[in-house]
Every structure is written in C-alpha cells, then in structure tokens.
Structure 1
Amino acid sequence: MAEIIHPFYESERGAMEAAMRHRLDLADAMLRERAHLSDIDGIRREVMDEFQIVLTQMPYVGGTASRMTEFFMRLIGFMAIGRVLRRHGVALSVIGEIERETYKAQLLTVPEAERLASGRHFMSSENQAFLREQAIRSATESHQKEFPEDFIYDFVEPGPGDNFEFGINYKACGFCKFAARHGDKEILPNICGLDFDAYATRGIHLERTQTLAGGANHCNFRYSRLPSD
C-alpha cells in the first residue's frame, strides 16, 4: 500500500516541491566542488524522489493553527538532501555547509524590505503575545495527545541583566522526534544549524548555546534585534 501525504501538505505540495528544486539549483556548484559529485542530474532526481518519501512522513501538527507547521514545511526537505548526500558518502560537516549556504542564498532571494518587515513582525509585542499563547497550548495534555509529534515549548521573559528581548525554550522538538522515528539522527544537527541564518536574514540575532539534538534537556533560543546600518 502506497504511503499517503496528509491532505494539508498535499495542498501545499506544489510550493514545497518548487522550493526544493530552487534549493538544488542554488546548491549545484557546491555539490560539484565541495561534495565532489559529478552526476548532478542524478542527485537531483534522487533528492526529489526522497522528498516524496519525506512528504509522506511529515507529521501533521495542526496546519495553519500551529506556528510549527511552517517550520516543518520550510525545513523538512533538508532531511531529503541530507539522506541522499550521506548515501553518496558526503561528510556530515560538508552536508551542513552545503545546506546552510544553500538555505541562506534562498532566503536572500526575498527582497530585503520584505525580510526585515517579517523580522519586525516576529519581534513585535503582538507576535510575542501570540507566542505566549502558542507556548501554553503546546504544553497542554490535550494538544500533546492530539499532536504527539509537535514541539513543546515555553516562552521566556528576560530577567534583570539579560540582553535579549524574549526567548523560547523548546522542551520537545518535532525534528528530533522525526529523526528518531525515521533514522535521521546523524543528519539532524544540520537542520539545527539553519536557524541562525533564518533569523539573521530578517534582522534578528539568535543566541543559542544548547540543543536537544546535542543532548541538552532543552533548546535555549534567545532573540534580539540586530543593529540597523
């Protein structure tokens, strides 16, 4: 029996596949020069085939009602890239470099004004209120029962002497759960590395000193605004 893609992700499938093809375009030179791969067309086909598998494995965590849905949709494709490159013997560190630089290049195709506006919205008091609400819901027994593969997190207020505006402590990570379920623990840390550029390109400084993937009991995200030029 063929695996089925959740209807929500099926409705977004075209956009996610287009984003994957764009990433592979951006990664072309790095795949040749750093990964020392020659059959790039073959690699592209393998990655897109693997992405179809990943789509069937993506957990549904509430669709548009959950902020973490966007994280899965935006980043889960890097699992497919990591799987294929690892099968071709590419070192984990090289995979991480290729994925991070490819992702940054893709993010920078968005106009700067749009990226910075997105960053201002993320840091806004309105969004912080939304994050508090989502954090409380993520920890409820009913939510965890309905969406067991979702993230669980706390909103962190700055204390005296802190130099961040707010933080999030992720106590359970959807990507960690995904990696454990599907045998991707080896390539999981490369997904974590994408976060820094995701925020920096929007004018946000992310400080993080530990991750669940690295063995800590939570990921400590701390956010502040980058100084404008």
Structure 2
Amino acid sequence: MRHRLDLAEAMLRERAHLAEIDRVRQEVMDEFQIVLTQMPYVGGAASRMSDFFMRLTGFMAISRVLRRHGVPVSMIGEIERETYKAQLLAEPEAERLASGRQFMSPENQALLREQATESATESHQKEFPEDFVYDFVEPGPGDKFEFGINYRACGFCKFAARHGDEEILPNICGLDFDAYATRGIHLERTQTLAGGASHCNFRFSRLRPRHNVR
C-alpha cells in the first residue's frame, strides 16, 4: 500500500489537486486497516481467489478516501489503474512473463477446471459464501482464445454490496486488463457482473512477444 501511494503521489497532486498528501496517505492507511477487517476468508492458500482479494482490496481503501475528498470516480479509476500498472511493471520482466506462462499452462488449466467445479458446489458455497463462483470455458470451433472463465458470482461484488462500494466497483474490474497484459496475456472481456450482466466473460490468449507490455 505504501508503495502504491508513492507511485500515485504525483497524480494525486497534479490530477486530483490534493495538497495535503501526507494527510491523505494516513487516511488511506487508516482505511486500509478497516478494509483488512472486512476482507472475507475464501479458503486461504487453498483458493486461487485469496490472491485476488489480497492484491486488489487495498484499492477499495484508496477509492473510499479519494471519494471523500471529492475526486471523481472516473479519475480515481485512472489513478488506480496507472498506479497498479506501474507497480506490476516494477517486477522483473522475466518473472512476470514466467508467471504468465504458468497461468496459461495445461497444468494450471487443469487446476482451474478443478477449482471451478468446486466453487459451484453447495458445500463450498455454504462454507465460503463470499467467494467467487465460476465455470471453466473450453474454446469452441472458430474461437481464438485458449480458455475462458465465466464468473457467475463475484467476491468483489458481494464485498461492495455489503460495504457500500458499488460506485467504485467498476474501477476494480478495470485493473484486470493490466494485471494480465503485464504477464504477456491478452484478456478479452465484454461484460461484467458489476455492469449488470449475468456473468463476467473472461477469455485468455497469449500476447505475441512484440505486444508484451514492458
């Protein structure tokens, strides 16, 4: 969080016109402590979605504070996305691309199929009601993606609805594109639960080397 605030500082001054940056930073860190107590448990290390919560719920704290300071939601989204991308690109390129290859690997796809099936079971939903529910999608004839995931229930949507963060939820959704692109993965998504659709349709394919984000 402190690293993100360091990366965002210039944008907070120049775009959001916030003068008392030290005060804003402290407000964000205080709000982050609140967000940590609100973050749901969805299975710990055994669940791939735990990492999503750990990486992204901090942006809820930033959004809440900036909204209180009158920063437009669209500008909050721009600041968060550029900050997140800068933070991701601070990681060595070789490590980012290796992570992307692992995500696209047959072994990981097998794990995703398994966890998707588990997410939809009555027992899992009863034990982890705040978790995501999703289906693994195999490509059909003529499809250009390698595999997909349809999220039928979203942990962030549940979180936002419970804590009054619906207005800033689309900004969280927008972070997904850079999260995958910086790892050499192309994400195509045309609808989201946050936007009122029945599911989020994630479709993944490998970026050509010349298109990798550097």
TM-score range, shorter chain: over 0.9
CA RMSD across the alignment? 0.3
Residue 84 of structure 1: aligned partner: 65
The residue aligned with 1:59 is 40
1:105 equivalent to 2:86? Answer yes
**Secondary structure of residue in 2 paired with 1:186:** helix
The letter of the residue matching 2:31 is E
Distance apart, 1:213 and its partner CA: 0.3
Give the SS at the match of 1:164. Answer: coil
Look up the match of 1:179: 160
Corresponding residue SS for 1:168:
strand
Percentage identity across paired residues of the two chains: 86
2:108 alignment partner, one of 102, 121, 127? 127
Q: 1:101 and 1:28 mapped to 2: Cα distance?
A: 12
Instruction: Give the secondary structure class of the aligned counterpart of 2:136.
Output: strand
- Which string of whole-angstrom CA distances, capped at 9 and with x for unpartnered residues, describes residues 180-215 of structure 1? 000000000000000000000000000000000000
1:189 matched to which residue of 2?
170
CA distance in 2, matches of 1:208, 1:40: 35
Alignment coverage as a number of residue pairs: 210
SS at match of 1:167: strand
Q: For residue 31 of structure 2, what is the aligned residue in structure 1? A: 50
Residue 8 of structure 2 is matched in structure 1 by: 27
Residue 217 in 1 paired to residue 198 in 2? Answer: yes
Structure 1 position 71, deviation (Å): 0.2
Tell me how far 1:162 sits from its aligned partner.
0.3
TM-aligned CA deviation for residue 217 of structure 1: 0.5
TM-aligned CA deviation for residue 59 of structure 1: 0.2
TM-score, length of structure 2 as denominator length: 0.98
Residue of structure 2 in register with 1:71 after alignment: 52
**Paired residue for 2:17?**
36
- Cα offsets for 1:22-70 (capped at 9, x unmatched): 0000000000011110000000000000000000000000000000000
SS in 2 for 1:221: strand
Provide the rounded CA distance (Å) in 2 between the counterparts of 1:33 and 1:160.
49
Whole-angstrom CA distance in 1 between matches of 2:209 and 2:66: 37
Counterpart CA distance in 1 for 2:155 and 2:16 is 28
Q: SS of the residue aligned with 2:166?
A: coil
Which sections of structure 1, spanning at least 5 residues, go unmatched? Answer: 1-19
Give the one of 137, 154, 164 matched to 2:145. Answer: 164
Tell me which stretches of 4 or more aligned residues in structure 1 moved more than 4 Å: none
Give the drift of 1:108. 0.3
Q: Which residue of 2 aligns with 1:8?
A: none
Paired amino acid for 1:30: M
For 2:17 and 2:202, locate their aligned partners in 1 and report how far apart those are by CA, in whole Å: 35
